[in-house]
Chain A
């Protein structure tokens, strides 16, 4: 399907486990982003990528790792999950040449860390 997809949509994991959230877009957009949404905080940027093999930290990067070997994929890994990482995670992409343009969001992954 065209657009931006995330998998899994729901995930429950235990503290200390590694978990990877997947994001795939079919638009060949240059920019991709990972956000987390928490009550009282809105959406906060975790990491972003301007192109394949180029990634940079956002507002809340600690505890997360990203990679971007292909333009269409931008996985987010929690190397050792903690309860504070329980959240809804959104991936987004943008075809523009900068960070401050309209972004297209995926449907989100609800992650629970027990």
Chain B
């Protein structure tokens, strides 16, 4: 059973607008979360992380929000750029154990 879920397989956003990618998880023991970005024919690359002691982490145009009570995290990209078009994976781990990945959301930023 999928412990990390990304329920939107795809998302289209206009250039300059905000992109919001969502991720839900079922395991309340998860305490560390990552977002990866993946271009076609390449491996995923690390984007941003957040630990369960925080509810927000920012890095430039990218912000990750964590809502532990709802078991939900989201990635905000502001402003969105065409180069952000990629597949985004969220991943979660519990207490030093392996990461579990979501199924990915394909983001298209329209110029």
Contact = CB atoms under 8 A, between A and B. Distances in A.
B101 interface: yes
Contact of A42 (B94, B97, B104): B104
A42 B103 CA distance: 4
Given A42-B89, A100-B95, 11 more contacts: A35-B101, A42-B2, A42-B101, A42-B102, A43-B101, A44-B101, A99-B96, A103-B46, A105-B36, A105-B43, A108-B42
A100 B42 contact: no
A74 interface: no
A61 B103 CA distance: 19
Nearest to B90: A42
B98 A58 contact: yes
B103 A102 contact: no
Nearest to A102: B46
Contacts of A100: 32, 93-99
Interface residues of B, number: 27
Interface string B76-107: 00000000000001010111111111111000
The 8 closest A-B pairs by CB, nearest first: A105-B43, A100-B93, A42-B101, A43-B101, A42-B103, A98-B96, A102-B46, A105-B44
Given A99-B96, A99-B97, A100-B99, A43 B34 contact: no
Name B's interface SS. loop
Contacts of A42: 2, 4, 6, 89, 101-104
A103 B93 CA distance: 13
Nearest to A92: B43
Interface of B: 2, 4, 6, 32, 34, 36, 41-46, 49, 89, 91, 93-104
A90 B43 contact: yes
A63 to B, nearest CB: 19
A41 B98 contact: no
Nearest to B45: A105
Contacts of B49: 102
